Structure 1
Amino acid sequence: MGASDFAVRRARGRAWKVAALALMMAGAVQAATPDRDAIQAQVAQRHDASVKALQDWIALPSIAAEDLNAKQGAEYMAKLAREAGFQHVEIVETGGKPGVYATLDAGAPTTVGLYYMYDVKQFDPAEWSSPPLEARIVDKPGLGKAIVGRGAANQKGPEMAFLAALHAIRDAKQAMPVNLVLVAEGEEEIGSPNIGKLVLRPDIQAALKKSIGVFMPMGLQDADGAVTVNLGAKGVVELELVADGKAWGRGPSKDVHSSLKAMVDSPAWRLVKALDTLVSEDGNTVAIDGFPKPAPLTADERAMIAKSTAARSEARAKQVLGVPHWIDDLPWQQANERLVSQPTINIEGLVGGYTGVGGKTVLPHRAVAKIDMRLVPPITRDGAVAALKAHLAKHGYGDIAVNVSGGYDSTSTSADSRLVQAQLAVLRRDGLDPLLWPRLAGSYPGFVFTQPPLSLPAAHFGLGHGGGAHAPDEFFLIESSNPKVRGFDGSVMSFVDYLYELGRPSAETTAGQ
């Protein structure tokens, strides 16, 4: 081949490459500029069907703590994914509750990861104003009409709204702007003990590695319509501390008459005394020997908190929570700084002996404290558990069993990430002024995405409003009486807009072509 022939072929090759790139970019631009009115019409047309689908999902509770409906929950999650257009849907065994892995290949330049949970918290129907599995539509004074049911806000309502967005895009015959990789677990409410076996399976990990980040659908608006974009979440450890007469070598090996307390040691009191060593005198500060110190808030984090608290109502927060005072009667901003920056040890429940109607004069042989610890950087799950065990042994309570059921590290994502910047763009375009928040006080297993080997951004997104997570009368707003707060259809459209924003051509996308 002569030099001139080589030059001609090289020029042709460049021309084909430029043409192919132009065609790909044209497709990306088309996908990023949909017929929004057509999609919105489909959202409205599907409203009743979408709400009914949410009610049906709520009617099937998968409760990991009670070993209830894990198989059925995974199968139902897989069914919902298939119906929403995911081409590959697979139930994944984890050694615990099964997970679901699904992919939607739209032939798009950008891939986005999705994290779902299909499990919910336990509930006591006697504490609810309507049956927690009926998902009734009720009037919420000052808010509008809402679905009340276990899982309505955490997390089935927002997750169903996202699936409804996929239905609407497809039914409106619009191009899906991004490829999707979905991982859904059934153990989030017990600390995600097997999340790594799902997410880090080699083929699933490889699929997620292609994404620009992972997000979880959520209703982020408060009752006044304000939106907070969270840049992370606290870690958590869930465990039981068990004081047992047999393990202790003192006290009874079975429940005995309470009159014998005059000469028999009490495992219940032993547990109480051990618990008292874990915290300060007021119970508000971790006092475990050797417990890792939290990193101080940065100037940027303090500024985020200051701006957010100035825009939110302290009085409404106290009213919603039913609390008259913050710890130490701290001012609103300082209370929120503490919320973001401090680890906690919380007693979820104390169980021992007789707890039924009336009295029963027994000396229990066994007592259990259900504990959760919330963690902030740089405190790790393993570091917190190790410090707790060493502390108990040092103080003479080495016989008290520490049974860890689940937990994980905290997570952080940069505000400059494409995942977060797309959220801010969508919200501002919608006339909202989003507030940045350093980290949720609650927890989710975002660490599995943000830490190696994936090292991806991870966040929550979605408009809409809900409340009562983990509590009676949990709800998700369906029809809003406040124009600043989105109802269900508004939540659906927020996901539509977010997907198309993520699918917009960017310097990051074109650089990889």
Structure 2
Amino acid sequence: MSNERVAAGPIHNRRALLAGGTAAALFAPGLTFAASGDLPAIRKAAETGYDASVRRIQEWIALPSIAAENRDMDKGADYMMALAKDAGFQHIEKVPTDGHPGVFATLDVGAKRTIGIYFMYDVKQFDPTEWSSPPLEARIVDKPGFGKVIVGRGAVNQKGPEATFLAGLHAIRAAGKKPPVNIVLVCEGEEEIGSPNFRQIVTKPHVLAALKKCEGVVIPAGWQSPSNGGVSVNLGAKGIAELELVASGAKWGRGPKTDIHSSEKARVDSPAWRLVQALQTLVTPDGNTPAVDGYFEKVRPLTAREKELLAMAAQQLNEADAKKALGVDHWIDDLAWDKTLERLASQPTINIEGLVSGYTGPGGKTILPGRAVAKIDTRLVPNQTMADSVAKIRAHLDKRGFQDIEVNVTGGYDPTETDENSRLIKAEIATYKRLGAAVTVYPRLAGSWPGAVFTSAPVSLPAGQFGLGHGSGAHAPDEYYVIESSNPKVEGLVGATMSYVDFLYEIAAIK
């Protein structure tokens, strides 16, 4: 964001911005919400609480709980508990796991229906030198074409949207009202390392009993398209397995056990080349299709309805915007736009996240490394499972003589599917459409989240994402979340807050 100005001093013209855009022009609440008479008071409370809502996001970003680094994890859980208490949850507890703790909380208002909300309090690692604005300072900057945004690690993934949902609860309470539904909150601190212990949290008997009362589970999101304000309602998400493939002289029995002088390559085997050779067998020569033995045998082809939804999505979504957002000029095999969407929804992948071996600093260092590591993620589609995917990779390597290559699983979960006719999905679509957001119903999110813990037994609930607003840069430098939108098609913080309020009323009323 080298062309962006750090906002100094108080936020100017905030009321004008809050009154502009879709928030004022298009906000048309559900019949139940409108009939309740609660809208004006809650809207006013959301506007009055704007500064506190901004500080809530900034203060949360300032505490970077990073599971991969074992950094501030207990502090992160404690802070999450404090946020839940401040938002009005009555029962709040830290839930221990074999790894980092989670948080379970309930807000019981005696309503007929209950909604589950999924939070994560952990964030990805970061390198401050790559950021134009310090990643933990959560500065407010002017972003051309968007307005005022908060820049910081976790801004959009997920602290900004999660704090915006909490802002909705604060606004309801400040208006002297109570939520139209009961709320069950489940939160983990290991999402960014593949949620290895999240199932332990949701299957605790009392947590499971609370979830069983829910209509479904939602993760807050801020994904509005800046070009048209559109949103996607995803009927599922790909699963993921995260793992490390490790080649070492110690395990192989060949090559050096530690780094040695590179002149010895004339007579000593290289674990780094060993790893490269193993990696080449996992995919087709172009690197685009898994070539692991039997990898596609359980893959479910797209259904007729999924193909129909993808064809409609190809008409609704903008290819040029997608390429610009990703910074790419070509798709695989120069595929047509509609075919890229089909592939994105239906294709399992084996991706190299990173390769680490030997010396990677400035200049050269003539060594023959004794160890090489490839960080891998595999994206999974129905009816694949994480366990089966990893087992097939292990068997594939063994069959080709790579028994020495270690396969260390660090986390992951299965893909999810949610019924298009569930109350949860119908409520999402109805709320979005009323608020003026163009809706694309999409078969499967290409990214992953641990929704399979909710959609599979024993929980067996619909699960998805919901929320207006916009942010980007997850896992990347200069991650941001819009708080005051200068784009009339995208909601700022208050509009996004009110979208969650309306969604709760819709869940309470939908048939």
> After TM superposition, is the score higher than 0.5?
yes
Residues 231 and 414 in structure 1, CA contact (< 8 A), matched pair in contact too: yes
Alignment of 1:388 onto 2:375: no
Alignment of 1:72 onto 2:52: no
The 5 Å alignment of 1:369-388 reads 369-388=374-393
CA deviations on 1:263-284 (whole Å, 9 max, x unpaired) are: 1000000000000000001000
| Secondary structure of the structure 2 residue equivalent to 1:260 | helix
Residue equivalent to 1:273: 277
Residues 239 and 371 in structure 1, CA contact (< 8 A), matched pair in contact too: yes
CA distance in 2, matches of 1:199, 1:123: 29
The 5 Å alignment of 1:482-497 reads 482-497=487-502
| Secondary structure of the structure 2 residue equivalent to 1:441 | coil
Structure 2 residue identity aligned to 1:396: G
CA distance in 2, matches of 1:130, 1:432: 31
Residue equivalent to 1:450: 455
Structure 1 residue identity aligned to 2:398: A
Residue equivalent to 1:183: 186
Alignment of 1:197 onto 2:197: no
Residue equivalent to 1:408: 413
CA deviations on 1:89-111 (whole Å, 9 max, x unpaired) are: 00010110100000000100001
| Secondary structure of the structure 2 residue equivalent to 1:392 | helix
| Secondary structure of the structure 2 residue equivalent to 1:86 | coil
Identify the range of structure 1 (161-170 vs 171-180) with the bigger mean alpha-carbon deviation.
Answer: 171-180
Alignment of 1:155 onto 2:135: no
CA distance in 2, matches of 1:102, 1:75: 12
Alignment of 1:289 onto 2:293: yes
Residue equivalent to 1:166: 169
Runs of 4+ in 1 over 3 A off after TM superposition: 28-32
The alpha-carbon deviation at position 443 of structure 1 amounts to 0.4
CA deviations on 1:17-46 (whole Å, 9 max, x unpaired) are: xxxxxxxxxxx9799724101100000000
CA distance in 2, matches of 1:180, 1:276: 48
Residues 32 and 506 in structure 2, CA contact (< 8 A), matched pair in contact too: no
| Secondary structure of the structure 1 residue equivalent to 2:184 | strand
Residue equivalent to 1:86: 89
Alignment of 1:420 onto 2:413: no
Residues 116 and 159 in structure 1, CA contact (< 8 A), matched pair in contact too: yes
The 5 Å alignment of 1:16-95 reads 33-95=36-98
Structure 1 residue identity aligned to 2:261: H
CA distance in 2, matches of 1:56, 1:226: 29
CA distance in 1, matches of 2:510, 2:413: 35
With normalisation by structure 2, the TM-score equals 0.92
The alpha-carbon deviation at position 212 of structure 1 amounts to 0.9
| Residue of 240, 255, 267 corresponding to 1:251 | 255
The alpha-carbon deviation at position 255 of structure 1 amounts to 0.9
| Residue of 232, 237, 245 corresponding to 1:241 | 245
| Secondary structure of the structure 1 residue equivalent to 2:419 | coil
| Residue of 259, 263, 268 corresponding to 1:264 | 268
CA distance in 1, matches of 2:78, 2:231: 33
CA distance in 1, matches of 2:362, 2:439: 50
Structure 2 residue identity aligned to 1:253: K
Between the aligned residues of both structures, percent identity stands at 62
The alpha-carbon deviation at position 144 of structure 1 amounts to 1.3
The 5 Å alignment of 1:189-228 reads 189-224=192-227, 225-228=229-232
Residue equivalent to 1:346: 351
With normalisation by structure 1, the TM-score equals 0.92
**Paired residues, number:** 479
CA distance in 2, matches of 1:29, 1:403: 51
CA distance in 1, matches of 2:328, 2:32: 50
| Secondary structure of the structure 1 residue equivalent to 2:60 | helix
The 5 Å alignment of 1:465-480 reads 465-480=470-485
Residues 32 and 504 in structure 1, CA contact (< 8 A), matched pair in contact too: no
Residues 65 and 123 in structure 2, CA contact (< 8 A), matched pair in contact too: yes
| Secondary structure of the structure 1 residue equivalent to 2:214 | coil
Residues 31 and 503 in structure 1, CA contact (< 8 A), matched pair in contact too: no
CA distance in 2, matches of 1:75, 1:157: 18
The alpha-carbon deviation at position 431 of structure 1 amounts to 2.4
CA distance in 2, matches of 1:220, 1:350: 30
Residues 32 and 501 in structure 1, CA contact (< 8 A), matched pair in contact too: no
Structure 1 residue identity aligned to 2:132: S
The alpha-carbon deviation at position 237 of structure 1 amounts to 0.5
Residue equivalent to 2:338: 333
Q: Point out the structure with max Rg over C-alpha.
A: 1
Residues 292 and 383 in structure 1, CA contact (< 8 A), matched pair in contact too: no
| Residue of 132, 136, 157 corresponding to 1:133 | 136
CA deviations on 1:220-270 (whole Å, 9 max, x unpaired) are: 311121111111110000110000101101111111110110110000000
The 5 Å alignment of 1:308-319 reads 308-319=313-324
Please, which runs of 5 or more residues in structure 2 have no aligned partner?
A: 1-30
The alpha-carbon deviation at position 426 of structure 1 amounts to 1.0
Alignment of 1:432 onto 2:430: no
Structure 1 residue identity aligned to 2:399: K
Structure 2 residue identity aligned to 1:226: G
Structure 1 residue identity aligned to 2:282: L
Residue equivalent to 1:230: 234
Structure 2 residue identity aligned to 1:155: Q
| Secondary structure of the structure 2 residue equivalent to 1:479 | strand
CA deviations on 1:315-364 (whole Å, 9 max, x unpaired) are: 12111111110100111111111111001111111001111111010000
| Secondary structure of the structure 2 residue equivalent to 1:213 | strand
CA distance in 1, matches of 2:290, 2:277: 15
Residue equivalent to 1:119: 122
Residue equivalent to 1:16: none
| Secondary structure of the structure 1 residue equivalent to 2:241 | strand
Structure 1 residue identity aligned to 2:143: K
CA distance in 2, matches of 1:452, 1:32: 38
Residues 165 and 492 in structure 1, CA contact (< 8 A), matched pair in contact too: yes
